[in-house]
Structure 1
């Protein structure tokens, strides 16, 4: 995207695809979580995708990780510090399979113009509608 603002350290990684829209802001200079500064974005597997819409603000100390799935963050969404968006359990829940990669993941969809408070964790399979407000975690 164009006109992307990066105010704190940002790490983007993984084997998948990350798309960042115009006007996105990653990190914020005067955030109360200044010491938890890094914004971490990872599309872990080759089939993983992360789409961050236009004019999205992702605050300091946040992580967005897709694994074998997709994460979509809609346009104009505001995200508070300490946000965790985890598109996976990262291991099977069954005790006899926990050390394998035999697990499936569900997508996360965050609608347009959503306001997500500080320290919120969103897990796989969640869909948040347009204009929603999610209080601090």
Structure 2
């Protein structure tokens, strides 16, 4: 299902995926099966999204982002892809960011470029992620710091 008010230019959209109102998906983006892309999102060309991913309202997915299966991306999460952004810079360098399977990113979190968020990791709402997040860890704050691991009690 692609809502009639969205601008979905890509033909690489998996079966069962829903793309809601006022969302733009550029030509070379790849979105897996059974995803839910909520309203007011933007998905750039060099983006790959796995299966059963939820992207809540107001999220922009920029070139270089890889999202594996069963990931949750909360409302207004901000991804970045350039460590030193400058207008019209010839030295622009796109860094790849990876969100591994089962990860969950809370509302309004900011993810700096070149980061890996590990399998089943949780990023708390409003956190600013400046370093890789280990698999199974929960991180919160600015900068985001671990508060627990899936392998620990606290």
Counterpart for residue 95 of structure 1: none
Does 2:115 correspond to 1:136?
no
- Give the whole-Å Cα distance in 1 for the aligned partners of 2:71 and 2:35: 10
Gap regions ≥5 residues in structure 2: 1-13, 127-154
TM normalised by structure 1 equals 0.75
More strand by share: 1
- Give the whole-Å Cα distance in 2 for the aligned partners of 1:22 and 1:64: 17
- Give the whole-Å Cα distance in 2 for the aligned partners of 1:38 and 1:90: 26
Does 2:98 correspond to 1:109?
yes
Gap regions ≥5 residues in structure 1: 28-36, 44-48, 93-97
Counterpart for residue 124 of structure 1: 113
- Give the whole-Å Cα distance in 2 for the aligned partners of 1:73 and 1:99: 28
TM normalised by structure 2 equals 0.67
Q: Which of 1 and 2 has higher RCO (CA within 8 Å, sep 6+)?
A: 1
- Give the whole-Å Cα distance in 2 for the aligned partners of 1:131 and 1:74: 11
Larger Rg: 2
For 2:43, which of 41, 44, 69 is the aligned residue?
Answer: 41
Counterpart for residue 58 of structure 1: 55
